[in-house]
Amino acid sequence: MSTGAAIHVTGLTKSYAAGAVAVGDLDLTVERGQVYGFVGRNGAGKTTTMRMLVGLIRPTAGTGAVLGRPLGDPAALARVGSLIEGPSFYPHLSGRDNLRLLARYLGLPDTEVDAALERVELAHRAGDRFRAYSLGMKQRLGVAAALLGDPELLILDEPTNGLDPAGIVAMRELIGSLAAADRTVLLSSHQLNEVEEICDRIAVIHNGRLIAEGTVADIRSAGGTGSLLIRADPLDKASAVVAALPQVTSVAEVGGALAVQTDPANAAAVNRALALADIDVLELRVVRQSLEDAFLDITHDNGPVPTGDQLEAR
Ligand SMILES: Nc1ncnc2c1ncn2[C@@H]1O[C@H](COP(=O)(O)OP(=O)(O)OP(=O)(O)O)[C@@H](O)[C@H]1O
């Protein structure tokens, strides 16, 4: 296990009694200082993963470490700030008083509260009761709470949820400033286009499974314009054959298919090479679409949520 990583999990799995597998066999490494995007549609398993990382729920299987300590370890959690599944605050107290309560619990001075409120641009409304806040203001207060104590690692579940366009830009800048200060940020979103501007690496999760992982450039080349999508059997052999072709820039496995970076004019040559190697080509098509479209396509092709029995059978 890489103890140097901020987050490292192997085979992380969470299944529920009814047989639904929220997260299945997830391997993930977030290096220190990275801004890491966790992307997936509603119900993909992002929140469940984050809840396991901060010890709110126990994994059914798998192991992991956060800041070099086992999942849920209190000493590590004291160095982690998180905003998971919407913040919960006292509705009748002001934003500032809510944060002061938290700060006292954490043994921090009130000056930390004011600094956090400034950072999320909520200082001017800090005296208002929480219940009078808009969705975006509640979200900002949640982020301010996560910032208390200047944690080494921030785990933010959809931090831009409810924010207006200006708020989204401000949140992006805030996250950029955290990265510049050597903090590690894991954030989730259901919009690839939103995270690609701020993240060093992205993991795409669908039905609880990791279906693509890499730098923004990797993910772009896996789904961007001017590539071929190939389904073939056996896939491993197809990958090796295609990767050896001089016209091919890169090959990535995405959702049980190969995303091949090459001029679409090479489609026939690629098809010929696969046939000559005795590989069954089930599908070969040119992908000309935006990154977001490619992501939707990948996740769409991965089908409905598998049950526990289906996962066992794999
Ligand atoms: N307590 C639970 N009992 C049963 N199933 C659950 C439970 N919690 C989550 N799930 C299921 O696990 C799956 C993953 O949910 P999760 O909340 O992790 O998704 P998500 O990617 O965060 O989605 P969203 O973008 O909508 O927040 C969903 O199918 C959800 O219904």
Are residues 7 and 82 in contact, defined by beta-carbon separation less than 8 angstroms?
Answer: no
Whether 272 is covered by a domain: the verdict is yes
User: Of the candidates 151, 183, 212, which is a domain's last residue?
Assistant: 212
pLDDT tens, residue by residue, 251-304? 988 878 998 888 878 899 999 999 999 999 999 988 755 556 656 666 665 544
Are residues 7 and 30 in contact, defined by beta-carbon separation less than 8 angstroms?
Answer: yes
Q: What is the per-residue pLDDT for 53?
A: 96
Identify which has the larger pLDDT, 215 or 308: 215
Mutate to test the pocket of ligand 1, among 47, 187, 295, 307 (most ligand atoms within 8 A of CB): 47
Q: Indicate whether 43 and 166 sit together in one domain.
A: yes
pLDDT tens, residue by residue, 69-86? 999 999 999 999 999 977
Total count of domains within the chain: 2
**Stretch (H or E) spanning 106:** helix 95-106
Q: Which atom of ligand 1 is nearest to the CA of 40?
A: 21
Question: Which residue has tokens 């956090």?
Answer: 116
Whether 72 is covered by a domain: the verdict is yes
The ipTM estimated for the assembled molecules is 0.95
Q: Indicate whether 26 and 164 sit together in one domain.
A: yes
Distance 18 CA to ligand 1 centre (A): 13
Distances (CA, A) of 85 to 68, 93, 157, 278, 281: 25, 20, 6, 49, 43
- The beta strand positions in the chain, using DSSP E, are 7-15, 21-30, 35-39, 61-66, 69-70, 80-83, 153-156, 184-189, 201-206, 209-215, 227-233, 250-254, 257-261, 280-287
Q: Indicate whether 67 and 180 sit together in one domain.
A: yes
Q: Indicate whether 266 and 151 sit together in one domain.
A: no
**Among residues 100, 75, 213, 205, which one has the least CA distance to residue 153?**
75
Pocket of ligand 1 (CB under 6 A): 16, 20, 22, 40, 42-48, 190, 305
What integer best gives the mean pLDDT of the chain?
A: 86
Residue 69, SS3? strand
Name the token pair of 266.
Answer: 């090479």
User: Which residue's C-alpha comes closest to atom 30 of ligand 1?
Assistant: 43
User: Which residue's C-alpha comes closest to atom 2 of ligand 1?
Assistant: 16
Domain range for 196: 7-212
Q: What is the per-residue pLDDT for 282?
A: 95
Q: Indicate whether 37 and 69 sit together in one domain.
A: yes
CATH number of the CATH domain containing 39 = 3.40.50.300
Q: Is residue 138's pLDDT more than 50? A: yes
What is the rounded distance in angstroms from the CA atom of residue 84 to the CA atom of residue 15?
Answer: 19
Q: Indicate whether 203 and 237 sit together in one domain.
A: no
User: Which residue's C-alpha comes closest to atom 24 of ligand 1?
Assistant: 42
CATH number of the CATH domain containing 251 = 3.30.70.100
